[in-house]
Structure 1
């Protein structure tokens, strides 16, 4: 049985997602299986999910996925590098995936791989040391000796921070550095397109680094290289070699998830308008689910976060006056700016998006500000980079949200016998299955964060079905029309 892992958000589930699943089904074959690693009630873009994670997971199963696992919220509400590390660590824990599939705006996969290799070597993830894999990569592309790499890494980071402080945005700063006289001689061999004029290639790299799905695809490849290095993987069995990037399709029935969320926000109070706005872009079952949620009042948008954000920030600001609460709002530029717009937020004159845009600048994106605001709402302290890297690079558990009767159920049975990482079928398992693959404190921190995120979402959406209770909900099991083949194992 061929198995593919998809890294997804499904916010909302649209026609492009359905086409991706169909393409992956061709990749794995009729007897293969598709596993979706899905962000839950909050997303990497720093937004609240339109539908709760259980509803999204059920939709995914109904539309062709066989098993849905939840990406932990600590990794989800982090930058692309940590989000990718989280997803790759779960895939590594699964042990037997044949493909890792993601989408991208760029059709030139070689370009994205070249950028990822450059960042892997000169802007590595925390804890990445010189390994045989890195040395082999340097030999393959005739890059500098291992003794020179630490010096180049430090220089890259120093120059990058200086560029960001000068007001250059992150994508532009990275692109300028890659093509600078200091690094270009070492970077050039990583790009098969090096026969192009340097200026033309630089334009292509700059454009690629400005597209959100490209950035994530690069991060997945970089995280896979790092995981391979840590595991000492052979070249033929590496996670990086399993990555398949599907270029984004275009067509009259396709819209970006961002554009669809804007349509949902504009029409959320009118099921009729919602139907007319989305009918061309969503599969019928996905559209029906959104409309049903709108009718019940459980359809969520970032606009609904504003009152909760105002209350949370106001409460933290008031509590700061008490001696035991001095660290509730750290004294950084971000929180100083947050204090400045607090009156507007308390008076509900500014939306969640208003707050994020007001706090952003060239060195801090709007999406980053949204994630910081959501962390504030969920009372999730932002760990230091070393702690966050440890949490994201080690799968504490695999949380099952939904599965198909076949092959999802068979897949789960096989997983339970073959993997070391705990399979969490319902929230009570987090108490009963504490195997502590890495560390008890990390397990507790991760599980409590997911618990808090789920229940806060249920509170905001007034949706009891989204609650994480002791034994409820168990994963959603959906019968499928596919039957077990005599040749499938």
Structure 2
């Protein structure tokens, strides 16, 4: 059986994700789709809207055949590390290709951009360094350097677009890993990455959907944007967890941790650099809500996303020392599979170079213990009754055809 891979968060799974999974299989000619999915915390430094098992079941109910977890160390990292961990896992799982959605819509511009940045790496890095010295953020410095190198030229990928940026990092990761996995892309359609919901547009942004939920929209009112299986599963989790998850729900625990640790201790956590620990501590003392806290900390140099990643690491206890010790994925954590997915994994077992883990109790080493710690802290913030789920939830198996 032939497999293609996709890198996802499904926060939540909507019609755009349904389209992506179907087109990935069509474009690659694959028999199954394997999704490597972030667990309880996401790349933009946020707790997931719904837990990883709910999001896994959404995916398996709507066209994905295997869901594996992207370990915390990669799921919450900057784009290049996020991409590297994901591509390594898809390669280890035996995927012959990976497919991402992009604003660009064709693969050739990405390959041309990769060639340019590979041959002009020294100049590119120097421009980035010079721009950071002016006080701008790292993402802005990257963009400025890229625009300088491509000025007056055509045929390169537009790396100001969020999905294009991630897509480029996937391709770059495969190149650096010398992976035979083939890159593919499909045109992103419908709403933009951060767009609000728009009547008559069936493919909405995940951001727009989350905002609608938190602003009080009923799930049934959002049915034009979500597969019926997603509506059903979200209704279930909403009832069980008394709502969905965002930073405000986690803020009391986060604030307690920040105030208990103090500024000096905060500096030992991953990505907490340049003295920002003092500002974080002061903001926690003065802020009753998460939004008020963020407003006191964010700046041109420290973007909201960068700060949220720091806060995620403070919340989970992920230290600089741990981050330096984790280099590569050490296992494949299986979250769920369909009947076709099970058949594929059974046929590939001997060829897969990493152990396939189906129980939290089998996770060992720094990476495994970090994944357990992050997940149990997430579950604790939701409610004590949920804490045991990390150890007692087996991989989800959907043996029948998907419910789209």
Distance apart, 1:19 and its partner CA: 1.0
Alpha-carbon distance change, 401 to 380 in structure 1, aligned in 2, over 3 angstroms: same
Distance apart, 1:21 and its partner CA: 1.5
Secondary structure of 2:215's partner?
Answer: helix
Distance apart, 1:326 and its partner CA: 8.7
Structure 1 equivalent of residue 342 of structure 2: 409
Alpha-carbon distance change, 376 to 179 in structure 1, aligned in 2, over 3 angstroms: closer
1:418 aligns with 2:351: yes
Structure 1 equivalent of residue 309 of structure 2: 371
Alpha-carbon distance change, 176 to 299 in structure 1, aligned in 2, over 3 angstroms: closer
Alpha-carbon distance change, 403 to 464 in structure 1, aligned in 2, over 3 angstroms: farther
Structure 2 equivalent of residue 309 of structure 1: 254
Structure 2 equivalent of residue 25 of structure 1: 25
Secondary structure of 1:246's partner?
Answer: strand
CA distance in 1, matches of 2:20, 2:31: 15
Structure 2 equivalent of residue 8 of structure 1: 8
* Deviation digits for residues 308-334 of structure 1 (CA, Å, limit 9, x no counterpart): 22111111128x6xxxx6965777332
Alpha-carbon distance change, 74 to 326 in structure 1, aligned in 2, over 3 angstroms: closer
Distance apart, 1:199 and its partner CA: 4.1
CA distance in 1, matches of 2:266, 2:211: 38
Tell me which of 139, 142, 158 is aligned to 1:174. 142
Structure 2 equivalent of residue 213 of structure 1: 163
Of structures 1 and 2, the larger Rg is shown by 1
Alpha-carbon distance change, 398 to 167 in structure 1, aligned in 2, over 3 angstroms: same
Structure 1 equivalent of residue 133 of structure 2: 165
Tell me which of 223, 228, 250 is aligned to 2:173. 223
Alpha-carbon distance change, 399 to 14 in structure 1, aligned in 2, over 3 angstroms: same
Secondary structure of 1:48's partner?
Answer: coil
Please provide the CA RMSD for this pair.
2.7
Alpha-carbon distance change, 295 to 362 in structure 1, aligned in 2, over 3 angstroms: same
Residues 322 and 366, structure 2, Cα contact 8 Å, conserved in 1: no
Tell me which of 322, 330, 355 is aligned to 1:396. 330
Secondary structure of 1:16's partner?
Answer: helix
Residues 131-170 of structure 1: matches in 2 within 5 Å? 153=122, 155-170=123-138
Tell me which of 284, 293, 296 is aligned to 1:358. 296
Is there any run of 5+ residues in structure 2 with no aligned partner, and where?
Answer: 191-199
Residues 203 and 225, structure 2, Cα contact 8 Å, conserved in 1: yes
CA distance in 1, matches of 2:147, 2:136: 15
Alpha-carbon distance change, 463 to 475 in structure 1, aligned in 2, over 3 angstroms: farther
Residues 102 and 188, structure 2, Cα contact 8 Å, conserved in 1: yes
Residues 267 and 277, structure 2, Cα contact 8 Å, conserved in 1: no
Secondary structure of 2:57's partner?
Answer: helix
Residues 454 and 467, structure 1, Cα contact 8 Å, conserved in 2: no
The TM-score, its normalising length taken from structure 1, stands at: 0.73
* Deviation digits for residues 139-192 of structure 1 (CA, Å, limit 9, x no counterpart): xxxxxxxxxxxxxx2x43233122022134445433443454xxx4xxx6xxxx
CA distance in 1, matches of 2:267, 2:23: 49
Distance apart, 1:259 and its partner CA: 1.4
Alpha-carbon distance change, 257 to 327 in structure 1, aligned in 2, over 3 angstroms: closer
Residues 106 and 186, structure 2, Cα contact 8 Å, conserved in 1: no
Structure 2 equivalent of residue 478 of structure 1: 398
Alpha-carbon distance change, 121 to 93 in structure 1, aligned in 2, over 3 angstroms: farther
Paired residue total: 390
* Deviation digits for residues 189-234 of structure 1 (CA, Å, limit 9, x no counterpart): xxxxxxxxx54749x86xx333221111010011010001xxxx6x
Alpha-carbon distance change, 292 to 474 in structure 1, aligned in 2, over 3 angstroms: closer
CA distance in 1, matches of 2:143, 2:226: 36
Structure 1 equivalent of residue 196 of structure 2: none
Is there any run of 5+ residues in structure 1 with no aligned partner, and where?
Answer: 124-152, 189-197, 268-272, 432-443, 483-489
* Deviation digits for residues 234-278 of structure 1 (CA, Å, limit 9, x no counterpart): xxxx23xx11111111271111111111112222xxxxx322552
Structure 2 equivalent of residue 72 of structure 1: 71
Secondary structure of 2:108's partner?
Answer: helix
CA distance in 1, matches of 2:251, 2:146: 40
